[in-house]
């Protein structure tokens, strides 16, 4: 399985035609585009299921994306979006980038990782604007704070040039789901 993932990643880099790939990091000073995890926060009881969407804001000439997200696997689990495919899958979204070739769309609940690799194919034109790249359902497993971060990414234009961006992850508060009300005596 690891070998297949490595081959898919290598193929993705070849498709992006990046001669010396570099992972862009959050906080790139020249970036105006932002990769954002939504919802950015919230309170959910243990057992609750909610949708997480990764949105690209203010993209310019975007043609492909390779994303790695991490989450606290002791507090969150990604639910499978495709029972007909082995492993845990996330859902490609075509709101902005057309998912012409999805090379990877998996979640690893044991490692606390989501990988998503997608590129458009000719004759698709590069895209500019804002829209969702992928979505997935998560289930709250245990009480406490849980983060979901964009660890690394590579965004590419049609010519394989790396595109800068900022990132914004999410922090959720997971609760036991019980509210204890004490009786009040009034005289």
12 pLDDT above the threshold of 50: no
Query: Strands 170-175 and 91-92, how do they pair?
Result: unpaired
Instruction: Give the mean pLDDT of 164-178.
Output: 92
Q: Is the pLDDT of residue 186 over 80?
A: no
Q: What is the pLDDT averaged over residues 14-25? A: 37
Torsion of CA 118, 120, 126, 132, to 10 degrees: -40
H or E stretch including 24?
none
Fold of 2-175: Immunoglobulin-like (2.60.40)
**Is pLDDT at 137 greater than 70 in this prediction?**
yes
- How far is the C-alpha of 32 from the C-alpha of 96, rounded, in Å? 17
At 2, is the pLDDT very low, low, confident or very high (cuts 50, 70, 90)?
low
More confident residue, 2 or 170: 170
What integer is the mean pLDDT of 128-144? 97
Q: Where are the domains of the chain?
A: 2-175
Is residue 31 predicted with pLDDT exceeding 70? no
Specify burial of residue 100 (Cβ count, 10 A radius: 0-12, 13-18, 19+): middle
């Amino acid at each position: 399985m690891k070998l297949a993932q490595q081959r898919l990643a290598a193929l993705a880099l070849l498709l992006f035609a990046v001669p010396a790939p570099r992972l862009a990091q959050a906080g790139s000073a020249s970036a105006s585009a932002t990769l954002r995890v939504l919802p950015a926060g919230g309170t959910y009881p243990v057992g609750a299921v909610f949708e997480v969407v990764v949105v690209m804001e203010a993209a310019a000439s975007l043609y492909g994306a390779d994303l790695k997200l991490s989450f606290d696997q002791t507090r969150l689990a990604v639910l499978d979006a495709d029972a007909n495919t082995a492993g845990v899958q996330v859902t490609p979204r075509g709101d902005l980038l057309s998912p012409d070739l999805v090379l990877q769309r998996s979640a690893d609940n044991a490692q606390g990782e989501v990988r998503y690799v997608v590129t458009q194919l000719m004759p698709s034109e590069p895209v500019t604007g804002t829209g969702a790249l992928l979505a997935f359902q998560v289930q709250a497993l245990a009480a406490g704070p849980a983060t979901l971060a964009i660890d690394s990414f590579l965004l590419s234009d049609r010519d394989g040039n790396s595109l800068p961006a900022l990132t914004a992850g999410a922090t959720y508060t997971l609760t036991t789901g019980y509210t204890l009300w004490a009786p009040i005596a009034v005289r």
